[in-house]
Amino acid sequence: MPLRFDNAFLRELPGDPVAGPGTRQVHGAAWSRVMPTPVPAPRLVAHSAEVAALLGLEPWEVADPGFAAVFGGNALLEGMDPWAANYGGHQFGHWAGQLGDGRAISLGEALAADGSRHELQLKGAGRTPYSRGADGRAVLRSSIREFICSEAMHHLGVPTTRALSLVATGEAVVRDMLYDGHPRPEPGAIVCRVAPSFIRFGSFELPASRGDTGLLRALAGFCIWRDFPWLAGDRAGAPLARLHAEGAFDEALFAAWFHEVCVRTARLVGHWMRVGFVHGVLNTDNMSILGLTIDYGPYGWIDDYDPDWTPNTTDAQGRRYRFGWQPRVAHWNLARLAQALSPLFREAAPLQAGLDANAATWAECERDNACAKLGLEDCGDDDLALMRGLQALLHRAGADMTRFFRALAEVDVDAVAPSAEPLRGAFYDPGRHAAEADALDAWLRLYAARCRAGGLPREARAARMRAANPRFVPRNYLVQQAIDRAETGDEAGIGELLDVLRDPYGEQPGRDAYAALRPDWALDRAGCSMLSCSS
């Protein structure tokens, strides 16, 4: 396999002097060398052809048994130098101390033909110094969920880590899926995650919490140098050591970098809210410094519109990570990052400016979402109120978010009293729908009047709405159906679902079943509505 590696993270940042997986507190280091634990029978279950092509891998190379051996953790390619990253984080609002990659092991930073950098990371590859007593493995169901959703998010246009491969390990892994005292053995699997960087907010929080300003400064400078090089202006591309020696990493550069992180984070959350994605566990160690969706665990997709829904059983009481709170939580997490970075600043003003930019960018994203989802040319205060009124109505009526907004493009807004008939198939409960029918008709009249008063031509409006409102998303029950089939030996459902999700905004005639309302059986089914961090 013609992969070329440049492992800058290891080369430029201090590492743990102790190698191997023994659990320990690691000080003064950004990483620890650790080898993946071999598995009995690595076998390729699925892969992303797009990610393979991005890395320059040919189909025959992916089909070779050696591919499964490498991405199942049993072999290394020349240039690979595995490590686990060291970081901390706030979990459910409380400082958790050192966390680190407890079951993820990075193989190396691959350089593609176009010069782009792609860190290859195996999730489920065995114990690391950060496993905290766990086995470092992953089960097939959680690996399928991560593999499918990573790629689906990319095709939806949401910034995300990618997934190269899904490899079955041939061994059983014991998990208590709902933490209810009923563990059971499940088939094991490993996902190869791909991203330019897996640095997180918590990567900076840990050295800051320990008063290690030297490591904090080194990590921040490295992140700018490798992942945000354009911020260095005409110094971009210079050796990192020279930039440090010349004092390039000053307060102004750190401020510009933090501002960029804040803006990217707001835009990321804007995409989540547009498509109905709920991360489920927005701890600071699960927030990417690049503004990518990272760490797919107990995530979920909004079916009936409910801003208070969280898919995470651990979050069922407090609902900290509910759908509607994601912008607020992201801002809170950025405030924790600002606190961690504060030793690099003489005063708080530049950090506050970044936080203000996050809030302002999210406000812009909310307007942009309303504009696109409603098919408007622009979005004023009245239009934002129109959208918020609709969202409240959808919540009361039990409307399916994805189906409703997709069908809204079919409503005839040229009519003074537009018919709600195109929206009929977007509701779960006939009683709740009927109770809000008059309110929906009234809203449609307001919406139609707004479109006629200064909107786009009909076809342009519909095209804009279809480009913002997907027809197909990886609904929880669809992914669970693929999991159920795979656990009985039929793995074809994984590829079938992924193929649909490659074109989420297309009509795809003949595939209506993938755009259907959530079936009743999935309402309370584990894996569909209830998920844990083991899911």
What does the pLDDT look like over 96-129, one tens digit per residue? 999 999 999 999 999 999 999 999 999 999 999 9
Q: Long-range contacts of range 362-370, CB-CB < 8 Å, 24 or more positions apart?
A: 362/266, 362/269, 362/270, 362/327, 362/330, 362/331, 365/266, 365/267, 365/269, 365/270, 365/273, 366/270, 366/273, 366/327, 368/270, 369/270, 369/273, 369/274, 369/468
Quick one: pLDDT at residue 293? Answer: 98
Beta bridge partners of 168: 43, 189
Quick one: pLDDT at residue 1? Answer: 66
Clarify whether 315 is annotated catalytic. Answer: no
Is 38 buried (19+), middle (13-18) or exposed (0-12) by CB count in 10 A?
middle
Quick one: pLDDT at residue 179? Answer: 66
Give CA–CA dist 460/67, Å, rounded. Answer: 46
Quick one: pLDDT at residue 419? Answer: 96
Closest CA to 150 of 349, 294, 337: 294
- At residue 245, what is the residue type? A
Quick one: pLDDT at residue 533? Answer: 66
Quick one: pLDDT at residue 195? Answer: 98
Q: Long-range contacts of range 425-431, CB-CB < 8 Å, 24 or more positions apart?
A: 425/517, 426/399, 426/400, 426/517, 427/397, 427/398, 427/399, 427/400, 428/303, 428/304, 428/398, 428/399, 428/400, 428/517, 428/518, 429/398
Q: Find where tokens 């840990």 sit.
A: 206
Angle at 239 between CA 236 and CA 242, to 5 degrees: 105
Give CA–CA dist 44/52, Å, rounded. Answer: 13
Which of the residues 212, 285, 295, 303 is marked catalytic? Answer: 285
The encoded tokens of residue 470 equal 């997907």
Quick one: pLDDT at residue 281? Answer: 95
Residues in the chain with pLDDT < 50? 535
Domain ranges of the chain: 4-198, 371-468
Quick one: pLDDT at residue 528? Answer: 82
The encoded tokens of residue 322 equal 């509910």
Torsion sign across C-alpha atoms 469, 475, 478, 483? positive
Quick one: pLDDT at residue 456? Answer: 87
CA dist 397 → 400, 403, 424 (Å)? 9, 14, 12
CB atoms < 10 A from the CB of 217, how many? 17
Beta bridge partners of 166: 46, 191
Check residue 286 and report its DSSP letter: G
Quick one: pLDDT at residue 535? Answer: 44
Give CA–CA dist 478/518, Å, rounded. Answer: 9
Q: How do 31-33 and 43-47 pair as beta strands? A: unpaired
Quick one: pLDDT at residue 178? Answer: 64
CA dihedral 216→217→219→224, nearest 10 degrees, is 140
